[in-house]
Structure 1
Amino acid sequence: MQDHIALGVKQGIEEVATVSEKIPAKEVQETEEQHIRYRQLYEAADKIYTRKVSGFFQKLRRYTGLPLIAGFLLMPWLVIDGRPAMLFDLPTRQFHILWMTFWPQDGMLLAWLLIIAAFTLFTVTVLVGRVWCGFTCPQTVWTLMYIWAEHFCEGDRNKRIKLDKQGWNTEKVIRKGGKHLIWVGIAFITGLTFIGYFTPIRELIMGFVPQIGADGFVTFDVHPAAAFWTLFFTFMTYLNAGWMREQVCKYMCPYARFQSVMYDTDTLAVHYDAGRGETRGPRKPKEDYKANGKGDCIDCSWCVQVCPVDIDIREGLQYECINCGLCVDACNQVMDKMNYPRGLIRFTSEDQLETGHTHFVRPRLFGYSLAVLVMISAFIYAIGNRQPLSIDVVRDRGTKMYRISGDKVQNVYTVNINNMDRNAHIYRIDVVGEGDYKVRGYRPMQLEEGERFTLPLRIVVPRDQLPESKNEISIRVTAKDDESMTAEQKTIFIGPKK
């Protein structure tokens, strides 16, 4: 046995030696560029100076971004039924959204809403790629506002490069200072508005208004927690949109990593038509460039200069691309100047570039769309049939599980009633079960909006109507002014054994 093992080990060593002779190991030297890239990790090697461009997609971004900004800023100021239209009141655990009030018990609805949002995003990605990132993502929208401040204070791309290279003087201090002042202002308004979704924004703003006390010192009547979180989100907005920018899209956003799983050859995305553009290179205005073996791309690099994430779309589809379409607008401007047809860079699919056809109806897109429609329908049904009333029943687990008084058996319960409606209601309590169950020590009560009420409840039933020692009953709470507003919970009624 030992000889066989030794022989096997010897043969294994000889095979490894043979393989090592056939496939020699090669030492790979790390280049300086790779060393810099690995050392910097999230940091870009050079500052990105985006070129200002106009066109269809730039206007489309404005028309999609401005309504989102307006909605974000104005929603906390909108009042419905005497309260903010959207207020997440954490101390009272009430979430007011338009005409409805939600409670922690409605957490399942929030989970379903997030699932619907995720599947909707998947559906859109399969159809038109990463357009959410390019047109409606808050990181992109706020970054565009910060880039606008750069253009306003420091000028276009070439002026900003020149300004950064020159030494510090009065002009540079004014331009840089004005830019950062606008950045901080936008960040503070953003932080203030965001916290305005958790505390009434009018009170929050008045708290930041300085007041001079009797001792002559300046004070602020704002809650420390509200002040901290407002300043925290102010700083994070200033950091993300002003300094990190494309680093968030490239390295921090998880969507950039798994989006490729949802892409297929028929997904519409920004593509460079290499068959038409290659071989790229400069040329004279009236040169017969095709006779010289050149394509429509003049290698002006405008598509790179306008890219907010600093990629070259001509190198192919890349995960960093947010499908903003700015390179499409820039290339179309160059094509117009050269009197070439537009569309060298355009929204299209890989199949369209290769075969001239795009299949819009395909199994994956159909499956995602069907799932979204089903979930939206179920969500609307759940919201429409949601009862703003909850009940929690706990049976008394004392030493005596039941009491006998004459020919009747009694159990004691603790009932918690939560009126989650925006109106006050008078509620009555009924018992449903196989027997003549009666409620003792109770009378109909009125609960105000958002009020919770806890009461002990005694339920009695004739002893001869108990078929078993453990009997299932239901305690039901109903609003007297609205019979459809009801909630019930099952529990156990215990009696003596037969």
Structure 2
Amino acid sequence: MTDRIPVTIIDTIDATTPIRITPAQAGGVIHTRSFTGIYRNLRLYGAGLLCLLYFGTAWLNWGDRQAVLWDLAGRKFYIFGATFWPQDFVLLSAILIIAAFGLFFITVLAGRVWCGYTCPQSVFTWIFMRIEKLTEGERNQRLKLDAAPWSLGKLLRRSAKHALWLAVGLATALAFVGYFTPIRQLIIDTVQLNVDGSTAFWLLFFTTATYINAGWLREKVCLDMCPYSRFQSVMFDDNTLVVSYDSGRGDNRGPRRKDSDYKAQGLGDCIDCTICVQVCPTGIDIRDGLQLNCLSCGACIDACDTVMDKMGYARGLVRYTSERALNGAKTQLFRPRLLAYAAVLMVMIASFIWALQMRPLISLDVTKDRAMFRENSEGQIENIYSLKIINKTQHPQRYSIGITQDPAFALQGTRQINLAAGEIVDLPVSVVLLNPNAVKSAEQLEFVVSNLDVDTQQVSASSTFISPAAR
């Protein structure tokens, strides 16, 4: 038969009525039992895809370099065919804002499904729990192992578990650092114990963080450390899809024979097997109603559906549904707040794509020489400037340099320059005043750099021309 959760009796007004303490309420390690079902498979495939992307993308090449590489030393960030510079960090901020609004949209629609299916904390916790099952056995075996005195067998099982946890933590750290340091050389240096101090620190940090978060803290990160769990409830409404127990159908709860007339006994469909609690990664009883600790992972739905199948009852005693549906009304999918989030999200995504397409692939910074002005050999007033030009593309480019058409000024020196892919050059130029009577003592100049290979690529920057007071 099924395993039952130990029942603890506490003092109540009616001492004959037991109060069951769930694993979350009792504290200590939460050991979940194995189960199967559609949501478990969905979570498994989703986590597998995310892990493949996380661990695999760093090994992809784009030409002669790593496809995704954040080169902090060179202040260049490569994402396949695009190169981003510190000046493009506003795009990173836009991505984070879009992700936040996407999370708001999903929360209003379906509650905390992000937590249950795609959050890295949840994904790695499920991986570590799987390792725990492989090394220490099923739920009952792990409970017995916890209670057993230390022995050679227990030491070997625990050592194997923690060794595998640390191995996963190290793999996670190598993959993460591999996005900032070429991963192939990083692996070689790590095996040869030849990494520098900074790299060694981050490898140790992320290995330890993964080991502690997914192995020891687990659900405590979600419940006590993650801010999302604190503000998510204010985003719910009575149409939000959440994991819910249908008390109208399930109560009164109680065991019974499969072929018994349980309705005549005044019982509902819930047989009080507590399997829904045993599979919960946060150790709650979903039958107590919507709770802060629920991750919306659907584990209790799979477990309950399995029991309903065995008993010959209809599925859905525990299911994704809304408060309105539980009360007999129809869930309203299209509602003002959800549509507003969707509209804002679409506008932000479209704006981001437009900004990405329109971002200048030339960077120009103009710095004026500290000297105010000087007089050249021809008696003309001259100012010196330093132009910092960056080719932000991944191909060599030819650029022309000029100033806005103003007959009072003339640009002296280099008018055209060739830059390699990603090359940065500091180019000194001078501007002379041709007609001193036509300008003020301080006049704005605008320098223009144009791509001779791509007509639409042009960037400008302004500076000040200083001259003696006009006569």
| TM beyond 0.5 | yes
Secondary structure of 2:457's counterpart equals strand
Pairwise CA distance, 1:221: 2.0
| 1:87-486 aligned within 5 A | 87-210=69-192, 220-398=193-371, 400-401=372-373, 403=375, 408-463=380-435, 466-486=438-458
> Quick one: distance in 2 between partners of 1:464 and 1:227?
62
Query: Does the aligned pair in 2 maintain the 1:143–1:245 contact within 8 Å?
Result: yes
> Quick one: distance in 2 between partners of 1:229 and 1:487?
38
Residue range with higher mean Cα deviation, 334-343 or 387-396: 387-396
Return 5+ residue gaps in structure 1 as ranges: 1-30, 33-41, 211-219
Relative contact order (alpha carbons < 8 A, sep ≥ 6): 1 or 2 greater?
2
> Quick one: distance in 2 between partners of 1:244 and 1:251?
10
Give the TM-score normalised by structure 1: 0.86
**What is the letter of the counterpart of residue 372 of structure 1?**
L
**Cα deviations by residue, 1:123-160 (Å, 9 ceiling, x for unpaired):** 01111111111001111111111111111121111111
Query: Does the aligned pair in 2 maintain the 1:43–1:247 contact within 8 Å?
Result: no
Pairwise CA distance, 1:256: 0.5
**What is the letter of the counterpart of residue 366 of structure 1?**
L
Pairwise CA distance, 1:433: 4.0
> Quick one: distance in 2 between partners of 1:139 and 1:465?
70
> Quick one: distance in 2 between partners of 1:392 and 1:127?
46
Pairwise CA distance, 1:339: 1.1
Pairwise CA distance, 1:455: 2.4
> Quick one: distance in 1 between partners of 2:35 and 2:447?
67
> Quick one: distance in 2 between partners of 1:353 and 1:64?
29
The match for 1:5 is none
Secondary structure of 1:482's counterpart equals coil
Secondary structure of 1:286's counterpart equals coil
**Cα deviations by residue, 1:308-349 (Å, 9 ceiling, x for unpaired):** 011111111111111000000001111111111110000000
The match for 1:25 is none
Query: Does the aligned pair in 1 maintain the 2:409–2:435 contact within 8 Å?
Result: no
Residue range with higher mean Cα deviation, 198-207 or 469-478: 469-478
Query: Does the aligned pair in 1 maintain the 2:384–2:430 contact within 8 Å?
Result: yes
Query: Does the aligned pair in 2 maintain the 1:57–1:326 contact within 8 Å?
Result: yes
**What is the letter of the counterpart of residue 268 of structure 2?**
G
Give the TM-score normalised by structure 2: 0.91
Query: Does the aligned pair in 2 maintain the 1:475–1:489 contact within 8 Å?
Result: yes
The match for 1:3 is none
Query: Does the aligned pair in 2 maintain the 1:409–1:463 contact within 8 Å?
Result: no
Pairwise CA distance, 1:391: 0.6
The match for 2:57 is 75
Pairwise CA distance, 1:487: 1.2
Pairwise CA distance, 1:461: 3.5
**What is the letter of the counterpart of residue 466 of structure 1?**
A
> Quick one: distance in 2 between partners of 1:129 and 1:89?
37
> Quick one: distance in 1 between partners of 2:204 and 2:369?
49
Secondary structure of 1:291's counterpart equals coil
Query: Does the aligned pair in 2 maintain the 1:402–1:494 contact within 8 Å?
Result: no
> Quick one: distance in 2 between partners of 1:466 and 1:336?
92
Return 5+ residue gaps in structure 2 as ranges: 1-9, 12-23
**Higher-Rg member (1/2):** 1
**What is the letter of the counterpart of residue 384 of structure 1?**
Q
**What is the letter of the counterpart of residue 473 of structure 1?**
L
Secondary structure of 1:412's counterpart equals strand
Pairwise CA distance, 1:231: 1.7
Query: Does the aligned pair in 1 maintain the 2:391–2:422 contact within 8 Å?
Result: yes
Pairwise CA distance, 1:45: 1.9
> Quick one: distance in 1 between partners of 2:199 and 2:436?
62
Query: Does the aligned pair in 2 maintain the 1:133–1:322 contact within 8 Å?
Result: yes
Root mean square deviation of aligned Cα: 2.0
> Quick one: distance in 2 between partners of 1:284 and 1:320?
33
Pairwise CA distance, 1:489: 0.9
Secondary structure of 2:450's counterpart equals strand
**What is the letter of the counterpart of residue 441 of structure 1?**
G
Secondary structure of 1:52's counterpart equals coil
> Quick one: distance in 2 between partners of 1:152 and 1:356?
45
**Cα deviations by residue, 1:153-188 (Å, 9 ceiling, x for unpaired):** 211111111122222233322322222222111111
> Quick one: distance in 1 between partners of 2:163 and 2:25?
24
Residue range with higher mean Cα deviation, 263-272 or 159-168: 159-168
Query: Does the aligned pair in 2 maintain the 1:409–1:461 contact within 8 Å?
Result: yes
> Quick one: distance in 2 between partners of 1:166 and 1:286?
39
Percent identity over paired residues: 45
> Quick one: distance in 2 between partners of 1:310 and 1:273?
19
The match for 2:459 is 487
> Quick one: distance in 2 between partners of 1:296 and 1:373?
43
Q: Report how many aligned residue pairs link the two structures.
A: 449
Secondary structure of 2:366's counterpart equals strand
Pairwise CA distance, 1:407: 7.3
> Quick one: distance in 2 between partners of 1:141 and 1:306?
16
Secondary structure of 1:458's counterpart equals strand
**What is the letter of the counterpart of residue 189 of structure 1?**
A
> Quick one: distance in 1 between partners of 2:273 and 2:461?
72
The match for 2:17 is none
